[in-house]
Amino acid sequence: MSGRLADLTGPGVAEALSAESVVLLPVGAIEQHGPHLPLSVDAVIAEETASAVLEAVGNEVDLWLLPTLSVSKSNEHAWSPGTLWLSAETMLRVLDDLASCVATTPARRLVLLNGHGGNTSLLGSACRDIRVAHGLLTFLTHPSIPPASGGASTEEELGMGIHGGLRETSVFAYLRPGQVDMDRAVRRVPEWLADNTWVRFGGAVQFGWTSRDFGPDGLIGDPTGASSELGKELFEHSVAALADQLREISRFDFPN
């Protein structure tokens, strides 16, 4: 049995969940994504991905979705009005509070499905803190690994299409047709970083930045060739990969 935790009754939680259950928290963001995309991009991708994964694997894995955490650590975009963000301290506290709630259920596995690249390091720390504090088995997954953390990006974007670029715009165009304004899509690739060996997005040396450091448009990448057809391909590949990951997560445990 799988589904959405919020749809259960109070007594039904103890009946439906077990030590084999996997609880999944989609984590998105409400933040600027340049002039061509709405603030909701990361929240939509996280929530739609989680829903699709539930449909794909819910008959095999005892999977329970939590409501999407739509506001997260987005202060790299704090300069842009409309962006909503939590401090690192608040975000860790919120995650710990939610984990303490999950720990009251029979479930032992908590998965954070992260749709916002800026959360990656913090969510990795949260997984360990929650493991120590609450004894849950914790995992961090992504619809796709963020390019700033070593994930794939396109050659045309010099491997640095990290925010509002080709792939993200395409996926959102597939999920929310009509909400992308391609007339306002512009190329903003940080070509001045391309010759760096170490200090670059996806390089071995990480660096502090805000999206305004790369120009006034607030995007980092090239969305001009985005299409819903590409988005469909990327989304379906992501869902298939996450389904495999959840199958393995459902079997994972540490030796006694």
So where are the chain's domains? 3-251
Residue 39 has pLDDT above 90, yes or no: yes
pLDDT of the residue at 202:
85
The pTM for the full model equals: 0.96
- Interval 72-89 mean pLDDT: 98
The pLDDT-based confidence of 155 (bands split at 50, 70, 90) is confident
Residue 247 burial by Cβ neighbours in a 10 Å radius (0-12, 13-18, 19+): middle
Q: What tokens were used for 36?
A: 């061509």
pLDDT of the residue at 153:
76
Q: How many CA atoms lie within 13 A of 5 on its CB side?
A: 24
In angstroms, the CA 56 to CA 63 distance is: 11
In angstroms, the CA 42 to CA 87 distance is: 18
In angstroms, the CA 196 to CA 191 distance is: 10
pLDDT of the residue at 128:
98
- Interval 117-140 mean pLDDT: 97
Residue listed under structure tokens 């009946």: 15
Q: What is the mean pLDDT of the chain?
A: 95
Q: What tokens were used for 213?
A: 């450091």
CATH 3.40.50.10310 fits 3-251, yes or no: yes
The residue type at 164: G
Q: How far is CA 197 from CA 205, 220, 233, 244, in A?
A: 9, 19, 31, 33
